[in-house]
Structure 1
Amino acid sequence: MAASLGLGSAQFGGDYGISNTRGRVGEDEVRQILELAADCKILNIDASHHDGDVERVLGRNWPFPSPFKPQVRTLRLENGLEWLESRLRRSVDHMGLVRAHAALVDRAEDLMGPDGDALWARLEKLKGEGLISKIGISATAADQPLLLAKRFKPDLMQVPASILDQRLVKNGTIGNLADLGIEVQIRSVFLQGLLFLPRENLPANLVPVGPHLSRVRRMMAEGGADPLHAALSFALNLEGVSTVMVGVTSAAELRAIVAASERKAPKLNWDAMALTDEVALDPSQWFADLGEQATRRLVRVA
């Protein structure tokens, strides 16, 4: 059974995504996006307080009664558990809701620290009180999400996966999470827009993967697919995935995503499209000054 679409909201709070040329989404556009999402039964909405004023933007613009299943995220633990709980309660309040569908631990390293068990216990308390319905973890490939899942037994896990980043598919993590009865969401299915960025616009740290990205697009074209259709087909048909989170900057973009998701999946060599370059798979390094190490890498790959 194919996964369903969910909506990320990072673009509602800032200029998110390497191929985003429109900047932060205006509130009129947010309202149109949410109305379209409701009409299309795209109900999972991922809200993050790290991205500007997203929670209040959502609260001001979605229909009431809201059909959505909003997800909130924890802040870091530096200010203590009492403050973290207070902030989660404000997150729900900012969205004009009585409860949130889920709360996700935003940084998995918080769970691996000395206060990890106490953090999880606090979230279980909030679940018991009815402030949230599910507890989840947002993890990266480096966080070893399967080990986290076995230790904390979350209701859901959100991890990155895409045509370009197939690490958690190939090592069996996504399938194993689903086998544990965990709801699996995937994000970064366009790898923050890298899939759509013209080769000539790549930042210096990504120049080495330019030839691979060109090959991927050529393979898609030869298979009768465009990057949007191919990316969604790959993500929505991954075994064990429940929800595919996507981000948009306009209702038109969401309309295109919905249309592409309803098309028949192309027959492509998915395995051959995966990136292995560590810098390309880590957006935090795309614009970093990698110094001598980056210079050696550019020479080696070129």
Structure 2
Amino acid sequence: MKSSPSPSPVSKLALAVVHEPERALPAPAGAREEALRFLLQTAADAGVTVIATRPDGDGERQLGQAWPFPSPFQVTVRTVSLSEGVDRVEARARRSLERLGLPRGDTLLVSQATDLAGVDGRALWDRLNALKDRGLFRRIGFCATVEDGPALLARRFQPDVVQMRANLLDQRAHSSGALSELAALNVDVHLSSVFARGLLFMSGESLPSHLAEHAPALSRIRRHLAEARVDPMQATLAYTLGLPGVSAVVASVASAAELRAILAAAHAPRPDLDWEALALAQPAALAQSLGAAARSAISNAA
């Protein structure tokens, strides 16, 4: 009796396309559009099936103009903040599909779990359920951190999908037991921030000032990987793709060249590493710093 072949690691790989200028080469608008089409076609040819989007900037419209035809992708859409009102959340989710050029999406995620924990959380969830019942989205869920108590929220709202942050530096999604608890509830788990906003690839000299305190620990981790002759991208993908109970690992990518590097790292043999030794001792502090920096960047761009 023949054993079934192991699934390709790309079967769990999802992509979040980055549109920020600092991640892309300067080019005329037409060249950028062609580069995005080439990136998406490269992903489709490699067997990637999930694309994760956000409702900020012009990224949704750009993707909508660049899908391969026929598109093989299942698209995940995120809501705007509940602070804008439940009606606005629903209207913007519908608008996201229009901008993406899609009659329906695969998954609609509440962008932050705190929206569900508030007084209007149930009303928000009812709206998402209504969109699902109308066939506009196949599944609904929410994004959460370890501090949000994702399993408790999952028991209350019964989502199809929960998205959490996880990477080599911050392994709390696994070590806290959250992944196994969600798996026991038959919830699909998507992991995001798998490259820790690029920290794994930065030297101490290039770290932003608000992250300087983490330089010694990051240097130790990079040295550990170098001694094992393992590339940081290969290590973090091996760690996240290998976690039990995870159905998708969302990797950010800005070009076809970056995607090819990610695909090569994902297909590399899984290294024999002491994963726990590669985690930061205080990952919550790092996550807080990264979150503050991201909010500041969004505020400055608004």
- When the two structures are superposed, what TM-score results if normalisation uses the length of structure 1? 0.88
- The letter of the residue matching 1:44 is V
**CA displacement at 1:40 relative to structure 2:** 1.0
- The letter of the residue matching 2:85 is G
Name the structure 2 match of 1:214: 219
Name the structure 2 match of 1:296: none
Name the structure 2 match of 1:202: 207
Q: Does 1:5 align with 2:5?
A: no
Name the structure 2 match of 1:293: none
CA offsets per residue over residues 39-68 of structure 1, 9 Å max, x none? 111111111112x11110110001122110
CA offsets per residue over residues 157-194 of structure 1, 9 Å max, x none? 11000000111111110121112111111011110111
CA offsets per residue over residues 249-299 of structure 1, 9 Å max, x none? 21011011111111111111110111133332220245999xxxxxxxxxx
User: What is the number of equivalent residue pairs in this alignment?
Assistant: 283
Q: Report the 3-state secondary structure (helix = DSSP H, G, I; strand = E; otherwise coil) of the residue aligned with 2:87.
A: helix
Q: Does 1:47 align with 2:29?
A: no
- When the two structures are superposed, what TM-score results if normalisation uses the length of structure 2? 0.88
2:24–2:255 Cα contact (<8 Å) kept: no
- Alpha-carbon distance change, 140 to 23 in structure 1, aligned in 2, over 3 angstroms: farther
Of residues 167-176 and 24-33 in structure 1, the stretch that sits farther from structure 2 once superposed is: 24-33
Return the structure number with greater helix share. Answer: 2
Name the structure 2 match of 1:108: 113
Name the structure 1 match of 2:234: 229
2:165–2:192 Cα contact (<8 Å) kept: yes
CA offsets per residue over residues 233-261 of structure 1, 9 Å max, x none? 11110111111000112101101111111
**CA displacement at 1:137 relative to structure 2:** 0.5
Name the structure 2 match of 1:281: 287
CA offsets per residue over residues 142-162 of structure 1, 9 Å max, x none? 222111111111000110000
Q: Does 1:262 align with 2:302?
A: no
Unpaired runs of at least 5, structure 1? 290-302
Name the structure 1 match of 2:90: 85
Unpaired runs of at least 5, structure 2? 1-6, 297-302
Mapped partners of 1:106, 1:269: distance in 2: 33
1:137–1:157 Cα contact (<8 Å) kept: yes
Mapped partners of 1:40, 1:232: distance in 2: 16
Name the structure 2 match of 1:298: none
Mapped partners of 1:96, 1:57: distance in 2: 10
**Percent of residue pairs identical:** 43
- The letter of the residue matching 2:200 is L
